[in-house]
Structure 1
Amino acid sequence: MLIDISTLLDQVGNTWGPLAFEFTSPGPIVFQVGSWTVRWYGLLIASAVMLGVLLSQLLAKLRGINPDLVGDAAIWLVVGAIPLARLYYVLFEWQAYASHPQDIIAIWKGGIAIHGAILGGMLAALIFCRLQKLSFWQLADVVAPSLILGQAIGRWGNFFNSEAFGSPTDLPWKLFIPEAQRPRGYQEIAYYHPTFLYESLWNLMVFGLLLALFFRGLKGKPQLQPGTLFLVYMVTYSAGRVWIEGLRTDSLMLGPLRIAQVVSLTAILIGIAGLAWLYVWRRRLPDVVATQAE
């Protein structure tokens, strides 16, 4: 474990006793008709994708990019993101899936990794941009706000599945976890940090920041270089993920290290280096095609 702030949060929460509010999941299923089941996890992901496509197309139009191209790119992004998000998760949880291989494709039960999704989406976007002769960084900038908004929505799927929660706590905003979903050794403990809520709120703040930068950039205050919004997304989302991951009991691990923290710290360094490249050294980021400004 790199970072653990649960003790600090508990100390803060002790002063908020009168504001106590318990989160309790109603379960993963929205409704069921015969053998047809609609689950919150899938419904939230589908809603996030649809809303993200509409928002990205609007932002693309404002940036002078063909919104139809962004709609086409969305298909590529989903096709690239979801399989790799699942593969990423399964590989780091292989011990659990090795004895139940039929669950590997059961994505509706939860278990996807956002870092895998981002990697898969980036690879798909690079191929798409190369084929369409579109700047990767310009596309990334109009997709970044939609991506973080989708993450804010998608985190609530963890709430309905009673997964991806934090360590035990008595905070006023504690999350009740059914006994069957509790980690090994924690069967007698009912309440945990609602890390899904922490990350969802953090992501909404990042979303607000990206939109503010986007619309100020349209006015040239400041003059944003291609790739800026995506790099800011990398730094700000990852900064939140580092400390939130330190609260979780079910992190994907590589030896003693939490994979998400390692990847997030790496993303922060890359993002800061990229922003310095743009605004300190005043150079453009390598791209698959020349940007319009060039």
Structure 2
Amino acid sequence: MTLASLSPQAALPSPTTAVWQLGPLPVRAYALCIIVGIVVACVVTEYRLRRRGVAPGAVLDIAVWAVPTGIIGARIYHVITSPEKYFGTGGDPMKAFAIWEGGLGIWGAVAGGALGAWIAARQLGIPFSMVADALAPGLPLAQAIGRVGNWFNNELFGGRTTLPWGLEIHRMDPDNPGHALRDDTGQPILEPGLFHPTFAYEALWNIGVAVLVYLVDRKLRLGRGRAFALYVMGYTAGRFWIELMRTDEANTILGVRLNVWTAALVFLGALIYFLRVRGPREYLIPLGATAPQAAPAESDVSQVDLSEREAGSRRAAPEGYRVVDEGQFRAYQETGAVPADEPEAGDGGDPTGSAGPTGAASGGEPTRDDRAGATGSGTADRES
């Protein structure tokens, strides 16, 4: 009798393989899930940035910085908070670079990715808070997809359960990473009993957070990074109780897992930011480019200047951006006319903020040629 026979028949299965060989190249499910998650986050962020006036394709310039720094930050956090495997007795320091074997901390990923996004935002002349708000619904979706990789790896599960959705967990082969250990008959060996699929709980929670951020942002027109703060609060609230269910090895403080403390502290920081920061949602008008002219509503095709439209589709990338409010942005979309400069508010600053290195928050010309790496400005209807 094998350990597999001790598990009930009605259970959620787990994969026995998390890596496949494509010739000499190993294809890892964990890496594929991360890549798909990044793509989803980029698509959502691109859509939301364009509806705020950012030139098409800017998200690619941001991702070039944010993705590598996010991965590096995630790995650094994991190694620092779980050093025994790498620097303890019998540890292998070179394993710290083996990202493909798993071990990425979300807290480090967000911190590292934020640093990369900040660098890119400065280069593009886009307010960093706008980038964060645009990313807010897409990031939890990416995290939800990434958790599927934990299912393939048979990891990040909770304690034993008799619930109908209890999860079977395979005993993985340490000498053949990514594959389940097998008995003498060639059958994969299961850990006895069923376990809480905490990675699935987190994935579902993250999808809920994405929906929450989208709906609240749509209703309240959040700006100044408050949509991102809402995401952080939603994610950490779920991570707090999910982390308490996990049974995998982790460092603790006062008998409580380190990530529980981290989730609580980050939640409080995001809550303080959300309550203290105020300001309207920011929109951008490109400098050095004009909005495309729409054809008259009652005209037929023969009255449309196709050569002018074709030239408009190839217009140059903006030299920079000017931050405006929603009313000014909608007026610009309808007329193509850049709104007149407004005097600064009595409190000593433009309530719409700054456009970063271009210095164009109050309508001034940029001090250097900051381009978004794409053509034209986003022209979109009201966000939905």
Residues 140 and 251 (structure 1 numbering): CA distance in 2 closer, same or farther, change over 3 Å? farther
Residues 180 and 43 (structure 1 numbering): CA distance in 2 closer, same or farther, change over 3 Å? closer
Query: Partner of 1:264 in structure 2?
Result: 263
For each residue in 1:266-285, what CA deviation from the matched residue of structure 2 results, as whole angstroms up to 9, or x when unmatched?
A: 121111111211359xx989
Contact between 1:251 and 1:260, CA under 8 Å: does it hold in 2?
no
TM-score (norm 2): 0.63
Aligned length: 263
For each residue in 1:76-125, what CA deviation from the matched residue of structure 2 results, as whole angstroms up to 9, or x when unmatched?
A: 11111001101111122211123223322221221111111001111222
| Structure 2 CA distance for aligned equivalents of residues 234 and 286 of structure 1 | 22
Superposed CA RMSD in Å reads 2.7
For each residue in 1:154-192, what CA deviation from the matched residue of structure 2 results, as whole angstroms up to 9, or x when unmatched?
A: 00101100111112222211111123489xxxx964421
Query: Partner of 1:124 in structure 2?
Result: 116
Contact between 2:170 and 2:191, CA under 8 Å: does it hold in 1?
no
Which one of the candidate residues 211, 216, 221 is aligned to 1:213?
216
Q: Which runs of 5+ in 1 are unaligned?
A: 1-19
Per-residue deviation at 1:134?
A: 1.8
Per-residue deviation at 1:151?
A: 0.1
Query: Partner of 1:6 in structure 2?
Result: none
% of aligned pairs identical?
35
Contact between 1:22 and 1:174, CA under 8 Å: does it hold in 2?
yes
Query: Partner of 1:7 in structure 2?
Result: none
Contact between 1:165 and 1:249, CA under 8 Å: does it hold in 2?
yes
Q: Which runs of 5+ in 2 are unaligned?
A: 1-9, 175-189, 280-346, 364-384
Query: Partner of 1:193 in structure 2?
Result: 196
Secondary structure, aligned partner of 1:32: strand
The equivalences for 1:1-294 within 5 A come to 21-29=11-19, 31-98=20-87, 99-180=91-172, 189-214=192-217, 216=218, 221-250=219-248, 252-255=250-253, 256-278=255-277, 289=356
Residues 211 and 223 (structure 1 numbering): CA distance in 2 closer, same or farther, change over 3 Å? closer
| Structure 1 CA distance for aligned equivalents of residues 135 and 15 of structure 2 | 31
Contact between 1:245 and 1:251, CA under 8 Å: does it hold in 2?
no
- The one-letter code matched in structure 1 to 2:258 is I
Secondary structure, aligned partner of 1:38: strand
- Structure showing the higher helix proportion among its residues: 1
Contact between 1:168 and 1:193, CA under 8 Å: does it hold in 2?
yes
| Structure 1 CA distance for aligned equivalents of residues 93 and 108 of structure 2 | 20
| Structure 1 CA distance for aligned equivalents of residues 225 and 97 of structure 2 | 34
Contact between 2:14 and 2:168, CA under 8 Å: does it hold in 1?
yes
| Structure 1 CA distance for aligned equivalents of residues 191 and 211 of structure 2 | 40
- The one-letter code matched in structure 2 to 1:162 is N
| Structure 2 CA distance for aligned equivalents of residues 211 and 53 of structure 1 | 16
For each residue in 1:174-213, what CA deviation from the matched residue of structure 2 results, as whole angstroms up to 9, or x when unmatched?
A: 111123489xxxx964421101100000000111112223
- The one-letter code matched in structure 2 to 1:166 is G
| Structure 1 CA distance for aligned equivalents of residues 246 and 146 of structure 2 | 17
Secondary structure, aligned partner of 1:23: coil
| Structure 2 CA distance for aligned equivalents of residues 38 and 71 of structure 1 | 24
Secondary structure, aligned partner of 2:165: coil
For each residue in 1:64-85, what CA deviation from the matched residue of structure 2 results, as whole angstroms up to 9, or x when unmatched?
A: 2223222201111111100110
Contact between 1:81 and 1:120, CA under 8 Å: does it hold in 2?
yes
Secondary structure, aligned partner of 1:37: strand
Contact between 2:168 and 2:191, CA under 8 Å: does it hold in 1?
no
Residues 33 and 131 (structure 1 numbering): CA distance in 2 closer, same or farther, change over 3 Å? closer
TM-score (norm 1): 0.81
- The one-letter code matched in structure 1 to 2:268 is L
| Structure 2 CA distance for aligned equivalents of residues 164 and 191 of structure 1 | 13
| Structure 2 CA distance for aligned equivalents of residues 77 and 190 of structure 1 | 41
Residues 223 and 93 (structure 1 numbering): CA distance in 2 closer, same or farther, change over 3 Å? closer
Higher relative contact order (CA 8 A, sep 6+): 1
- The one-letter code matched in structure 2 to 1:228 is R
Contact between 2:129 and 2:225, CA under 8 Å: does it hold in 1?
yes
